[in-house]
Amino acid sequence: MSMNGLTHEEIGEILGITKEAAKQRLLVKGIKPKAQIGRMNFYDEFVVDLIREVPKGGRPRKNKKPV
């Protein structure tokens, strides 16, 4: 963990997901970074709990109709 906060990669490691998935979840929730140094964004530690239960997204499953 960095002194400035967590990066996408660190958030992904904590949640057991890829850094791209962590970034997408942050975007879906509309969470902005608390700091940016160069191209790296840093987030508060509490955002991990906020994005833990964000749905994956994608197309919903079709209902199977009995024949």
* 17, 24, 45 from 12: Cα distances, Å: 5, 11, 12
pLDDT: which is higher, 7 or 67 = 7
Contact predicate 10/2, CB 8 Å = yes
The amino acid at residue 54 is V
Q: Give the pTM.
A: 0.74
Q: Tens digit of pLDDT for each residue in 14-66?
A: 999 999 999 999 998 999 999 998 889 999 999 999 998 877 667 877 888 77
Helices then strands, each counted (H, E), the chain: 3, 2
Burial of 11 (0-12, 13-18, 19+ CB in 10 A): buried
So where are the chain's domains?
8-51
> Quick check: 1 pLDDT over 60?
no
